[in-house]
Structure 1
């Protein structure tokens, strides 16, 4: 029995040590070269981004099947807006009318390379895709016949408006159960659409992401006038703050419950802090990369987090009046799957204790 307890305790110790928070850094600039901005990473580690110049921009994909680079002469300033876990990419670009007004149009590139315009409420009207789930259902926005921009679901070649009518709205997040969150374009109120039912959030809330546990993330205005990132589940808000910062915003939320965000102070020269929040712990990414060889670099942007906790970031610094930039992929060591080891260790200890009591 003592041997079994010792083995169980050892398994638990190894698992708990393996679950300690740490990140490895993959220098994507060194791997793929300069001139690319990587915007999305899916669960397979595939990348979607852009290359080229502002007016001659290419969509760049680094997929398991190989590298893809393509232009779209019908649109200006193209960029991927969503990358599915199977490698399907949604991208958007601009067109201009004779008065110089710009319009966003979205397209889908399938796994076979076929490019298809997203369905609109009427042929020729703009579309915008913001997110996609594992079933190929995308969400975003599209103007309707009355010229209101409607939160929209794109499914099976059709577009369906959701959310309040007679106002401008957008759907920003969808989970694998088909639940959607969105908000008005003035960021004054938000809604959830699930199983054909529309539910409004109380207060001045901007809901932007929802994961498979139906946890919602976004930002909301507090009574003191500060805006904070939040997690919402079963009617309860959990506000996410960073020490020394008055404001925080959500960038993304994954199915492991990890919230990616940033925090800042108004009229303050101190740098914006980018962070990952999970299980009550806040990891400041600025400090993390500085401790791993990037001290003196500034964060340009943080783009995306996948379900493995991998985060896409860009850094820059000025050396002798020359700007250097780096694109990095931060990967948890170990990845969240290690929690399974920890749970297995706990289960092992529990089983041994139950057997000991039975004896």
Structure 2
């Protein structure tokens, strides 16, 4: 009887364990479909220092790179996160309390996603990044491949904050915390500085600023060839390109709301489109005799 009860207890425990979700760490570059990561940083002085007055936060947005790619080109697409609530709340509160209400406007942010499955294949390195430019500068394949250094930053933070205990966690680090956990440029070194150097674009902007979204990927196996650069947005004027006013925008408010939004066509654009569809329908009816 005792053995039977023990076996039943073990069976129940196994069922309960199987039904409990296992929270994984951040999906970074090696996963092949990295999660969108929001990085927020603040320098306590006028420039980067080695002191304890600098801080950064890493927020796992729980939205994969391929999800964002699939959403590209959709007019009026929008997605937002409130960092003050839920599993982000404690880290956002810690971050903003450290910075102070009067300095929130001095915080900087960017959003990135990593994929570094095989740097020796065409398309084996893919990266999403914000960028405060309407035309991304030239990027060599070799330049894109070396962005995998950001995996060190992801790995260093996976054991911090709530990344290992909730589905989409957050963490905070100061410049004096363990190596690679701080997203900044301390005396010219740091993961934030590394990302900036690899993209050759200012990918971090002050909160309240709109940034454009860019997709970078290796175009071939040659390190000397130019990488493929794709802007995210909606082609409002139907000229086959994404230009000023057509980009998917990424913004973070001082109140802790992150928003990704693609442009919406003007009313007259919709009217012209509907009129065109009406004309096409009329032509088809005449030809088919309907």
The answer to whether TM tops 0.5 is: no
Higher share in helix = 2
Structure of higher RCO (CA pairs closer than 8 Å, 6+ residues apart):
2
> TM-score scaled by structure 1?
0.22
Higher share in strand = 1
> TM-score scaled by structure 2?
0.25
